[in-house]
């Protein structure tokens, strides 16, 4: 009998036992890239909704959708910055690993 308790991470679809999308810098980089794509899609949909709501005269709805668009823009900026940082970390790790191999 296995004495280990199952954690929520173990029950995630597509991940093996104990695996997370952030086990490596590459995994985190890929995950953040997918998040950036999802944000871009959401922004496009919100822009369409703003156009539709504006044509229907829903001022409050348009205002709310503009706030959503603004928040998505901010989130997109943070995700882009995070992706750049992860890329820098990947580059630095490669540099350090090559130095270690040459010793």
Q: Tell me the pLDDT tens digit for each residue of 63-73.
A: 999 999 999 99
Tell me the pLDDT band of 103, cut-offs 50, 70 and 90.
low
> 28 falls in which pLDDT band (50, 70, 90)?
very high
Angle at 12 between CA 23 and CA 19, to 5 degrees: 20
Quick one: average pLDDT of 34-63?
Answer: 92
Q: pTM of the full predicted structure? A: 0.71
Q: Left (φ > 0), alpha (ψ -120 to 50) or beta: where does 14 sit?
A: left
Mean of pLDDT over the chain = 84
């Amino acid at each position: 009998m296995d004495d280990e308790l199952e954690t929520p991470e173990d029950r995630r679809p597509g991940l093996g036992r104990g695996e997370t999308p952030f086990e490596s810098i590459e995994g985190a980089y890929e995950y953040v890239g997918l998040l950036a794509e999802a944000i871009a899609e959401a922004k496009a949909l919100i822009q369409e909704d703003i156009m539709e709501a504006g044509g229907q005269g829903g001022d409050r709805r348009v205002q709310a959708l503009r706030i959503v668009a603004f928040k998505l823009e901010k989130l997109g900026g943070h995700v882009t910055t995070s992706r750049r940082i992860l890329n820098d970390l990947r580059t630095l790790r490669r540099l350090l690993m090559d130095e270690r191999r040459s010793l």
